[in-house]
Amino acid sequence: MTVVTRISFRSGDRDLLDSVVEDIVETSRQKGAEFKGPHLDPPEDHEVALYRRLDGDPTNEFDAWTYTVFQRRIELRGYDDLARDFLERDYPDSVQVEAEVE
C-alpha cells in the first residue's frame, strides 16, 4: 500500500508562500516523485477587534485589524524520505507547515 502525504503550507505573505511551494514542487520534479498540486485554496480573511483600553468595552473600539491567510497544498504518493525531508526543513517563521499521512 502506498503512503500518501498531504502537506499544507499557510502564510500571510503570498509571495514568500509561493516561493517556498515552488521550491518544493521543483525538488519533487527533480527527484521524479509522484505528486499532485500545488492546490490553491481561497484566501481566508480574518478580523481582529482592537480596543483602546483593556476592559474590552465595545464603545472604545478602534477599527478592526484585518489580515489574509493564503494556503497551498501538495500531495506526495510514496517517496517517504522526500516527504520527511520537506517536513524537516527550516521554513521562514511566517510559513506554517502541516502534514497528514495516510
Spatial distance between the Cα atoms of 49 and 57, rounded to a whole number of angstroms: 11
Domains of the chain: 4-101 (3.30.70.600)
For residue 56, is it left (φ>0), alpha (ψ between -120 and 50) or beta? left
pLDDT at 40 over 80: yes
User: Tens digit of pLDDT for each residue in 43-77?
Assistant: 999 999 888 877 767 777 888 899 999 999 999 99
* Structure confidence by residue, pLDDT tens digits, 6-35: 999 999 999 999 999 999 999 999 999 999
**Full-model pTM:** 0.84
Which residues, 6 or more positions from 48, have their beta carbon under 8 angstroms from its beta carbon? 64, 65, 66, 67
